[in-house]
Structure 1
């Protein structure tokens, strides 16, 4: 899969993206809002790409994708299959130096359009921590509506959002 926006190319993750994933998944904002995924070296990053992203794309037809700006990876945006949600979940994250420039809005719009128009998905969920006000604002600007909070399998309470195909 490859999507193009005015500024970004959104593409499938590849093994060569391991250094980028290692950097992204160890940023302060990732750890604070998403959590420590135990990606602490190059081998861990490769394993994550293979076992989570490539496998998800093969099994579900969707996954998190790498957002690139001038061919350089700057973030991720895509759909995640969570066992406790009926519909795919929109996920996104950026390297801190790229926040505040509308990249998530741009990538999210492209990913949602592809999901609804090309993949036949009728509804997309999104979850975020109650403290992550920036993600909440992004979801609202993408047209998501906030639902009741839910508990994840690890007993964490998160905010649940949904967007339906129009």
Structure 2
């Protein structure tokens, strides 16, 4: 039986090909199961919006939809206080209210902050996965789809229905 020792005459150039940083980055890493570009994942709930990318194991940010900023001016300058009373983004009887403009404006501001301040990405360049609850109102689903396609001009949107546990 013949064994080969690792310390045998191996040229230094052979090992340098595997240890240089340029060769490690030359391999194309597949970011997610959808291809080389990660998709934006949005889970829009009534109190929180969870957002992140498809290759990650947990959401990058959990954004409360109930935060109301109140601005006050004083001798030390401006101060902002956040009202922490839970106010939901939508109610289940959304169609009974009839007016969807306030919901659309609030969602537009929240999604704009999510894309441009938190995820730091262009919505036109990334596909979107929406995690939706089967109990979400149809008017909310239409509003989200309309905003993403018309205002943010996303190229593709996939809808994944989540469990109710």
| TM-score normalised according to structure 1 size | 0.34
Greater fraction helix: 1
Greater fraction strand: 1
Radius of gyration: which is bigger? 2
